[in-house]
Amino acid sequence: MSPPAGSLPRFDWRTIAALNAVSTLAQVGQFGFAFVILPVCLANQGLGAAQLGLFAASLWLGQLPGLALAPGLCRRFGPRRVIGAGLTSTVIAMLLIANASVWPTWVTPLVPQLLGGLLAGLGLGLRWIGLEPWLYRIAPDDARGRLVGFHETLIALAPIIAPVLAAFVGLDGHTVFWVAAAFTLSAMLPLAMARPPAPANVLDVSAPGILRDFRGARRERVFQQGMVIALLGGMLEAAVSGLFALFAQGRGITIGQTADLLAVFGLGGLLLQYGIGWLADHRGVGFAALWCAGATALVASALWLRYFCWVVASPRF
């Protein structure tokens, strides 16, 4: 016999807390280590600009099938299993990259590294799309933007925690891979504690396919804004996190200092997450997006101007 309706909690805070914990732990392993630290490790192992660019591209390329397939997989198998599959995919990727040197001699190490990059990207895409719609559907309507801001603040810890831990355990051996796998696997525990979504919150398996879903969603203004923001923001972040190690090496910055600088970069991304969510709640997504874009352009212009003045004033010229 089901309990009286009045005794049921209005919001499932246990699942909200569990899903936030899953994102926080998984993001450290799947993004902080895989997307931010692994390019630094591989650059330290001697990968050139072209090879490192291929690896960084494989991470983002691997996300595409994860993002595309996750909605249909969630409808068929449930979001919990899709998230679990994404976490498992990242752990396998870490094993592949860590053991690239033990493959047959006729297989260049770049092959398992690229396969690992694809799997790591796939895992992140599956976990991202499997978890966030589930979380936001059960969030309070009047505070969804603030919950998004709080959630994004938690996952923004990943590019801070991962470089700090990597600098502590060292970037030369395999320890960094085991730490990444441990964080990813630890997300399984809070995932098991989340209550399954109610039937009303799960899309029917017979719902339109991915292409028709996209055609319908692209008419939504928020969806269009999200596509532009994700595309531009993703390219900028990929350029910084994926190729920063080469930039640092070319300027005499040590591998430890590179990890510290990436942690500072992550800290900058953490500071305004909740505030942007509050702004979106009170002034709209478009206004918040314009504010962020303007602030980013202002900072980028200031950095460029500082670099230009330094080059002009350099005694070498």
Enter the tokens of residue 58: 């494989």
- Per-residue exposure over 30-48, b if at least 16 CB sit within 10 Å of its own CB, e if not: bbbbbbbbbbbbbbeeebe
Tell whether 289 is covered by a domain: no
Tell whether 310 is covered by a domain: no
Tell whether 305 is covered by a domain: no
Q: What is the pLDDT of residues 169-219, one digit of tens each?
A: 888 778 999 999 999 999 999 999 998 876 544 444 444 444 454 455 445
Instruction: Quote the pLDDT of residue 167.
Output: 84
Q: What is the pLDDT of residues 31-64, one digit of tens each?
A: 989 988 888 888 887 777 788 888 888 888 898 8
Tell whether 299 is covered by a domain: no
Mean local confidence (pLDDT), 150-171: 86
Tell whether 30 is covered by a domain: yes
In the predicted structure, residue 6 carries a pLDDT above the cut 50? no
Instruction: Quote the pLDDT of residue 5.
Output: 45
Q: How many domains does the chain have?
A: 1
> What CATH number should be reported for the domain holding residue 162?
1.20.1250.20
Measured at the alpha carbon of residue 204, what is the angle toward residues 200 and 209, in degrees to the nearest 5?
A: 140
| Residue-range definition of the domain harbouring residue 210 | 11-283
In the predicted structure, residue 74 carries a pLDDT above the cut 80? yes
Task: Please tell me the distance from the alpha carbon of residue 98 to that of residue 121, in angstroms, as a whole number.
Answer: 16
Of all residues in the chain, the percent with pLDDT exceeding 70 is 76
In the predicted structure, residue 8 carries a pLDDT above the cut 60? no
Measured at the alpha carbon of residue 46, what is the angle toward residues 44 and 50, in degrees to the nearest 5?
A: 110
Instruction: Quote the pLDDT of residue 225.
Output: 63
In the predicted structure, residue 277 carries a pLDDT above the cut 80? no
Enter the tokens of residue 20: 């936030």
Residue written as token pair 């692994």: 38
Q: What is the pLDDT of residues 278-302, one digit of tens each?
A: 787 778 777 887 888 888 788 878 8
Mean local confidence (pLDDT), 154-163: 87
Please give the mean pLDDT across all residues of the chain: 79
The backbone torsions φ and ψ at residue 269, rounded to the nearest 5 degrees and listed phi first, read -70, -20
In the predicted structure, residue 92 carries a pLDDT above the cut 80? yes
- Tell me the one-letter amino acid at 55: F
CA dist 145 → 11, 223, 228, 259 (Å): 16, 15, 19, 31
**DSSP category for residue 142:** G
Task: Please tell me the distance from the alpha carbon of residue 51 to that of residue 169, in angstroms, as a whole number.
Answer: 25
In the predicted structure, residue 256 carries a pLDDT above the cut 80? no
Instruction: Quote the pLDDT of residue 226.
Output: 63
CA dist 47 → 59, 238, 262 (Å): 16, 17, 19
Enter the tokens of residue 188: 């399984």
**DSSP category for residue 30:** I
In the predicted structure, residue 163 carries a pLDDT above the cut 70? yes
Q: How confident is the model at residue 259 (pLDDT cuts 50, 70, 90)?
A: confident
Tell whether 4 is covered by a domain: no
Instruction: Quote the pLDDT of residue 211.
Output: 46
Closest CA to 170 of 159, 160, 178: 178
Mean local confidence (pLDDT), 217-226: 57
Tell whether 77 is covered by a domain: yes
In the predicted structure, residue 125 carries a pLDDT above the cut 80? yes
Q: How confident is the model at residue 1 (pLDDT cuts 50, 70, 90)?
A: very low
Measured at the alpha carbon of residue 67, what is the angle toward residues 86 and 13, in degrees to the nearest 5?
A: 65
